[in-house]
Amino acid sequence: MSVSPKIELAAKSQSSAQAPRIGAGTLRLPWLAALCTIALQVSPAGAAEATAYRVAPGDRIGITVFGQADMSGETMIDATYNIAVPLVGAVSVRGLTLKEIEQRVAKSLADGYLQQPVVSVRLTEPRPIYVVGDVRTAGVYPYRHGVSVLGAVALAGGFAVSEEQARAALRNDFIQADERVRALETTRLTLTARRIRLEAQRDGRTPDFNSLEGGRGSDEFVMQLKTSEAQLHAFQNLALQQQIEMLQQQEPKLLENRRFVQEQLNAEKRQLELIQQHLVDYNALLSSGLARRYTGIELQREEARNRGNIARFNAEMSNIGLAQGELGLRIREAREAFQRRVWTEMQDSMQRLAELDASLPAARLTRELRLRQVGFAEEAGGPPRRSLFVTRQIDQRSETFPIVEGALLEPGDILRVERQREAEAGLPPTAAAMR
């Protein structure tokens, strides 16, 4: 251990002043007192040096170079433990105290930049502390000198909700999860019944709902669902049948009209044949001079009118044929539109069923987990027990250790608050995240 010159000089002067008056046997007492004085003066300085604050990334320090305002200012220690000093550039401060930083910066400036620089370094803004876990507002908070663990929890809004509030929240979460499962199961039953009905309509048969099974306490709902789907099946089939029957009822009228027009056409054709025979006789008489020309003109006019009626009746027959074809097309379109609607609804139902089948397992698992949490909370009872842990940079490495509420925190500490789980068989209570 080195001794300062002032202490050594005081010890020598004290021994020389007392030597003439004290015997040789008692000369050791003043030296013992001097050594005790040296120990008392040297020990606090060594302890202070050992516990001095060592900077780390995130700390902001102020550097003052006396007489050099342009070279003074604040800087932050980066992730590589460097600071930026004007003229010098990056200076490593890894593991250094403020006093050691002063010495290193002064040495760097004296190396070709300034003569005998006087440097002062102070900590202007220490790195923040972090509070996570079972607190109301986890986050980053500025470090305050002398802040304790409980003070950091207070900065984070205190501990999280009380046990009773937690149990109430868990019960509410379970109720919501159970309602979601019930809603999904109900929707799945509805879609399954709809799919059975649509398949029956597609195949033209009566739906069979025997394969439709309900879940917890849903037998009455399943019966109502079967009844409603069966009624809907009957109603839609009846509506289609009535629509087709209304179209088919027009066919006998068209057939009757066709028969009537055909009879008129046949009559006109017979009349045309008679007129043509009269014209043959008239031409024979006209050639022998026994007929008048006016009679022949009337016969020709009657023939032309008869031919016009025949053409008109043929057109009516064509229109009736077109109406019959259009009627068959409308009946076919009605059936096809019904089948298209059935297929569209079936595809939509199948897609939604696939989505429900994918969602139901996760919803049931969530409900089961919520139920277990409610059971754990009800069995636990009493105020919650918590464990406190701090993660701290020590000698440039990260260490995590338990801590008590009254302990003081350091800049950069990460305080983790964890609610303990109840003890299992043969095991002590343990923080959930540490298991």
Question: Which residues have C-beta within 8 Å of that of residue 180, sequence separation ≥ 6?
Answer: 363, 366, 367
Q: Which two tokens stand for residue 157?
A: 């809004």
| Predicted pLDDT of residue 60 | 93
- Residue 389: count of CB within 10 angstroms of its CB: 18
Q: Which two tokens stand for residue 382?
A: 């009493």
pTM for the model stands at: 0.45
Mean pLDDT by 10 residues, the chain (435 residues): 36 38 37 39 46 85 91 90 90 91 92 89 92 91 91 89 69 87 89 91 88 71 88 91 90 89 90 86 78 76 88 90 90 92 92 92 89 66 76 84 91 89 48 38
| Predicted pLDDT of residue 214 | 65
Distance (Å, whole) CA 170 – CA 373: 7
For residue 232, which of 210, 203, 200 has the smallest C-alpha distance?
200
Distance (Å, whole) CA 409 – CA 139: 15
| Predicted pLDDT of residue 211 | 81
Question: Which amino acid appears at position 271 of this protein?
Answer: Q
| Predicted pLDDT of residue 37 | 41
Give me the residues paired with residue 117 across strands.
none
For residue 94, which of 73, 79, 111 has the smallest C-alpha distance?
79
CB-CB contact of 417 with 137 (8 Å): no
Quick one: three-class SS letters along 185-239?
Answer: HHHHHHHHHHHHHHHHHHHCCCCCCCCCCCCCCCHHHHHHHHHHHHHHHHHHHHH
| Predicted pLDDT of residue 166 | 67
